[in-house]
Amino acid sequence: MATCVRCGRELPSFSFGEASNLCANCKQLAVNAQQPVGMPQPGVPIARPAPYRPPVTTTILAVNVLVFVAMVFRGVPIMSPDTGPLLKWGADFGPLSLGREPWRILASNYVHIGLIHIAVNMWALWQLGRLSERIFGGLAYFLAYTASGIAGSLLSLLHHPDVPSAGASGAIFGLIGALIGALYLGKVPIAPAARKGLLRSLLWTAGINLYLGATIPGIDNAGHMGGLIMGLGIGAVVGRQLMEPAEKRRQHEVLTFLGVAIVLIAFGMFVKQKNGYVAALDVADRAISSGKPDQAIRELKEYLAHDPQNAIALNMLAGVYMSKNDYPQAEIALQKVLEIEPSNLTAKRILGLVYAGEHRYEDARKVFEQLVQQNPQNDDAWVLLGASLDGANREQDAVDAYNKAIAINPKNAEAYRQLGLAQSKLNNLTAAISAVRKAAELDPKNPEIQRDLSDVYTLMGNTAEAAAASRRADELSKSAATKPATPQ
């Protein structure tokens, strides 16, 4: 059957009067366009139609930019921010999003990981948003954008719940999907030739970006797919009513987005049922902060029952066992981490501390030597190596390690403190006093350094200075004990 060359509607199989390749509506629009509206007067400029300014697209873009600017002004690096600041601003992360902070599922669509990330996404939003808003109307467009973003976040949580993610890409892929669905299955007032060209361009855009997401590490392709699939469904359903009267179209959109809301809620419940165990990681972290190690151990074991190869949870578990002086259990957890990730520096550091806690100083030395070999500019690793050498009664080697730490970081108070204690064992009391006093200068509120200072003065026979340092240690301890807790 023949179709209208302007809007694509089916034409009647026969007609009376003049034959035409336009439907009745488009024919009337063409007639109106040809009717004279008055001759232009000399010297009077011809009125031109105002350029289309999409209010919803402009608002969404502005919110994204304002959030990014606020992040930068609050100290978040402009190019490659770390995970910590992103989580503070609402990045999607299973232990939080599937636990006590589900708002991240939506908020993460307005958080971006650096200048390049937001620049690319906002350029794509401007290109696709203007067309989408004009075709679907402001409200339907905004709901489709939001629903696609949520769907992208949920599929991301289903695919990798323990990896933080952020950005508007899922919502933008939703716009691509909505346009494809409407152009292919809907009734859009665009000439068939133009429609085919636009559809081809959108399919290429989606295909290329999905391919890049699958081949370039660090891109959340699950979020892209979630947004694209949701957008395809919305575009296919809403697109069929675009040529209907406004009232009927609005009723259809209300029913459509009620259905979308039900689908998203059901999908969210499925994701939480499937991967909700990751929330135990957040509960365990809060239990550790609250001084509840037994609860933290229970939560971490629940997490590891679902994901026994998770190095983060195993490291946390080892740390909790360390706090209870349960060194054998801590060692078991750390050995599992190093089986999974042989170069995990955090696990090696804690394992060295476990060995030191068990007075296995030679084993601790081997671990800390690996740390300084992997990262020779890590001053804390040199301090730990020195402590293990000190424990093995190799004080001169320990002094050398502490001096290397100080050369790397002259403000490392712990390095000076340990250097002073090692020098006191070698009976170099003048050098010991100098080092411990430097530690006290760098960390004046640490009572333990003042006690060490008192001990060294006692070895020197300077009872007055020893007594003064001991009094300062007691005052600092009392001050720390009476200091009010900081509200969370």
Provide the H-helix boundaries in 54-168: 55-73, 83-88, 94-97, 104-107, 115-136, 138-159
Judge whether 238 and 252 are in contact, CB under 8 Å.
yes
> How far apart are alpha carbons 381 and 119 in whole angstroms?
39
Q: Both tokens of residue 452?
A: 């060490």
Of these residues, 97, 224, 388, 470, which one is catalytic?
Answer: 224
Return left, alpha or beta for 201; rule: phi > 0 is left, psi -120 to 50 is alpha, else beta: alpha
Query: Do 91 and 146 meet the contact criterion of CB atoms below 8 Å apart?
Result: no
* Residue closest to 173 by CA, chosen among 207, 218, 134: 207
CA angle (121, 123, 127) in 5-degree steps: 115
- Cα separations (Å) of 258 from 109, 251, 253, 255? 21, 11, 8, 5
Active site residue 165: no
Q: Report yes or no: 187 and 301 within 8 Å, Cβ to Cβ.
A: no
* Residue in 332, 270, 271, 261 with CA at minimum distance from that of residue 301: 332
Pairwise CA distance, residues 379 & 407, whole Å: 8
Tokens linked to 80: 């490659």
Residue 169 designated active-site: yes
List the catalytic residue out of 108, 148, 169, 454: 169
For the chain, the residue count is 488
Query: Do 162 and 307 contact (CB within 8 A), yes or no?
Result: yes
Annotated active-site positions, please?
Answer: 169, 224
